[in-house]
Amino acid sequence: MNLQLGTLEEMILIILLMKEETYGVEIAKEYKSQFAQTISLPAIHVVLKRLEKKGFVTSRKGEPTPERGGKGKRMYQATNKGYETAQSLQQARTEIWKTIPKLNFSLV
């Protein structure tokens, strides 16, 4: 399996896996909650488009709402391929961490 996924792509994919279906603003809120950092909506949308192109995410146009001037939100959902890729990345990290010697590291 190809594990070519940038860190931001991986984090947004994991956020998508936490939800059944979500959209950009909710992803930004969850990102801030998890990492205590903000992320711009344009950055989120660029990543979502890349993830969709790679087959890790699907999207659909949501229902139009008056609050959005009659426009619908683009809703995103992780795919099975996205789940399997995220899981493989986690397993690979776990394995590589096992190779690190358990030395007596102390914080200075």
Question: pLDDT value at position 89?
Answer: 92
Whole-model pTM above 0.85? no
User: How far is the first Cα of the chain from the last one, in angstroms, to the nearest whole number?
Assistant: 40
Q: Is residue 64 part of a domain?
A: yes
Using pLDDT thresholds of 50, 70 and 90, give the confidence band for residue 102: confident
Work out the number of other CB atoms within 10 angstroms of the CB of residue 88. 14
Structure tokens belonging to residue 77: 């959902």
How crowded is residue 30: how many other Cβ atoms within 10 Å of its Cβ? 19
> Of 76 and 65, which is predicted with more confidence?
76
Q: What does the alpha-carbon distance between residue 94 and residue 82 come to, in Å, rounded to a whole number?
A: 18
Please report, for the domain that includes residue 72, its CATH number: 1.10.10.10
Is 84 inside a domain boundary?
A: yes
Structural domain range at position 37: 7-98
Q: Report yes or no: 25 and 104 within 8 Å, Cβ to Cβ.
A: no
Asked if the structure places residue 2 within a domain, the reply is no
Q: Three-state DSSP class for 37?
A: coil
Domain count, the chain: 1
The three-state secondary structure class of 59 is strand
CB-CB contact of 23 with 74 (8 Å): yes
pLDDT digits (tens, 9 = 90+) for 30-53: 999 999 999 999 999 999 999 999
